[in-house]
Amino acid sequence: MIAVRTKVFDSCVRDFLSREPDGVVVNLGCGLDTRFTRMDNGTCRWYDLDLPEVIEIRKRFFEETDRHRSIASSVLDAGWMETLAKAHAGRPFLFLAEGLFMYLHGEDVKSIVLRMREMFPGAELAFETVNAWGARIAGSRAGRRKFRRRFHLGKDAVFNWGMEDSHVPEAWHLGIRLLDEWYYLRTKERKWGWYRYLLRIPRFGRIMWIAHYRLT
């Protein structure tokens, strides 16, 4: 699923840069993501944002350039938005939130998206999400134990938010419009194997996906 997720986000970035070669891409909660090295078109501006302790680790492996910079900040701190809005006023933006929003609380996600819409008119946002049922399973005691064991996550890394479908953010503001969505289990990957049978169960088939929006 993580490989499919990576493939979908890469495709989203590739499409954006084909339309906006001088655009600005902001990778929220970047971790040790290497997407810039795969997607760089030679003209875009790229920002990788994560908590200060994560950015310190990134600096051991990635060298910054004039077009590729790191931002040491919580995504909840609106200061980074103000800085980028001033530095690249009028330029097209694409925001990526891969493996991030489900760990936040719903009101925080809503606040971030509405603030983006206000400060970056015309921007695009692609984020990974999970349905509310999946969030409850992942947030259960058994789910947390499994996540810690399989993904080596800390005990505080818990799914806190999920939504029933991709149209939920459109209700937050008239300027939020769904462009596309990709459900992982609906991608044509041979490696899914028997997992494809889960498509027959609506909750499983729509448990995790990526939604893509325009913010105006």
Give 153 or 60, the one with higher predicted confidence: 60
Measuring CA to CA, which residue among 54, 61, 4 is closest to residue 30?
54
Give me the pLDDT at residue 193, please: 78
Residue 168 identity = V
The token pair at 53 is: 């302790």
Q: Residues 133-155: what's their mean pLDDT? A: 70
Q: Long-range contacts for 172-175 (Cβ within 8 Å, ≥24 apart)?
A: 172/110, 172/113, 172/114, 173/114, 173/117, 175/117, 175/121, 175/215, 175/216
> Tens digits of per-residue pLDDT, 17-60?
999 999 999 999 999 999 999 999 999 999 999 999 999 999 99
- The span from the CA of 169 to the CA of 172, in Å, is 5
pTM (two decimals): 0.91
Q: What is the mean pLDDT of residues 109-137?
A: 93
In this prediction, residue 14 carries a pLDDT of 97
Residues across the chain? 216
Q: How far is CA 187 from the centre of its chain?
A: 18
At 33 the pLDDT is: 95
d(CA 124, CA 96): 9
Side-chain half-sphere CA neighbours of 106 within 13 A: 11
Residue 140 dihedral angles phi and psi, to the nearest 5°: -70, 165
Domain 2-215 has what CATH class?
alpha beta
The C-alpha atoms of residue 143 and residue 149 are separated, in whole angstroms, by 10
> Tell me, what's the pLDDT at 207?
84
User: What single letter denotes the amino acid at residue 6?
Assistant: T
CA–CA separation, 18 and 69 (whole Å): 21
Report the candidate in 64, 16, 43, 80 with the shortest Cα–Cα distance to residue 213: 16
pLDDT on residue 114: 98
How would you write 197-215 as a 3-class SS string? HHHHCHHHHCCEEEEEEEE
Q: Choose among 37, 42, 211: nearest CA to 126.
A: 211
Q: What's residue 182's pLDDT?
A: 93
Average pLDDT score over the chain: 91
Q: How sure is the predictor about 152, in pLDDT bands with cuts at 50, 70 and 90? A: low
Say which DSSP state 103 is in: G
Say if residues 54 and 60 touch (Cβ distance below 8 Å): no
- For residue range 67-120, list pLDDT tens digits in order: 999 999 999 998 999 999 999 999 999 999 999 999 999 999 999 999 999 999
**pLDDT of amino acid 204:** 73
Greater confidence (199 vs 119) lies with 119
